[in-house]
Structure 1
């Protein structure tokens, strides 16, 4: 009996050491870069220090024009997701602001929970710092749809029309106890999720073969410290928050909303648009064929035309 106990203890310790070794092997080879002045050298756009950290942004268009705010999703790729939309909107006569949210693109990685309030506050502080006056046209894709909804809910007087592209807002994910657990969460994210994160995000498109440049940017930005921590925090906070009440208040305030959805979206299937149509009877839906979760990047001509038509109607 004593030998069996000793054997079990040795087996248990061996397993722990093996798992620690596997974790160390993966962790030491991940997130090898730091987002700092050196990493930002030569990067397009401007940088501004807000209360919680540095934010990279780009702002173009006539001073007299209506301002559009573009809000990217939860991917570390940041505002690059608007690469095929930004110039088209500027050329259509709008003043357009795009920026990297905290933890993404070339903005600071900050040690703070990835909550809706964090990003809504970042928008408000950035627009105030740039002396931009609303009401704004707010466009958000994926997680950015939640942020657009949250901003419109907290600052209805600063928001005019809203465009939601495959939004997460009323389709939140579930909080997972094992992701919140510091040890187990870090282990799973390091060993399982991170090695596959680029591949998983590229699978969100209808045809990834045509998107080599997007994939290249994604791989590069995934190498910076903070990707894993921010992903875990977003899953447990903003991406797990149900914004149905906020969507309902958009209806009460008569906000005009355009919904754009890739017909082949594997992340949030287009059938989820029915929830929005029930809450917002006046909502307009633009379906985009042969497009996945980020239809604005995959089918920019269709999406740009729909946005411009909606905002100029």
Structure 2
């Protein structure tokens, strides 16, 4: 009987820990968005299983190791959380297919992808179908039967059931002060987006667990959060109508903590050297703020990470050259 590959075993262990660490964020998301989050998870998981198995079969690779490493499940999880609850079934399947085919297997499979697969899949469907990703449930969701009908596309959502997010409202705001937005717009909560602030705190807890387990180093998440905090503090002009939001608002709104601890830390498409990972995270945090404030999309985590994926090799070369000069 052959001995197990230690690299594959470390990968499986890391993927299991990532799935476990995401559980608090999933539970809080279900609390605020209802059955839609679970339907997203179910559809994305089934789609990932089917697509991964089909590609492995076509490439004549063994199914058990390919399906058992957990990478496809993590991709499915991230997409299920990034897409709006109760979005159409075909949108979820399309996002998963793009992630696994164009973000993973096109480059040779796990360990060879230059881009974060989940964020590539999300970005493609966002560009292709922006109208479906701009509306998030504004209430606690609907019943299971109504949710199934909504996902299947055989029922129309009630008026006012979904609306713009806090980042959307802030980006298009021209007249209300920040205090007025928080007081009048249901998308805003106590510190950030309504409900989203607690979801971010839950993913922060999961991320700290992963740091404690040494699944990844602190460099990328700390770099991203410190950079986002710093630039939002420098550009913050109080509660005026032209304000872009406080540092706390940006940390606890959108996909900030999910991006910092579960996306920017993806080891294959990110930088390798510790200093390069810190710069990678700092660049991602800066780009998130720039896209949120002046870009065409309200939350820039996906595009920020993908852009930094492009720059990751250059960051590693820069750090390597810097180390050679310091030695010399």
Same fold (TM over 0.5): no
The structure with the largest helix share of the pair is: 2
Relative contact order higher in (CA < 8 Å, ≥ 6 apart): 1
TM-score (norm 1): 0.28
The structure with the largest strand share of the pair is: 1
Larger Rg: 1
TM-score (norm 2): 0.27
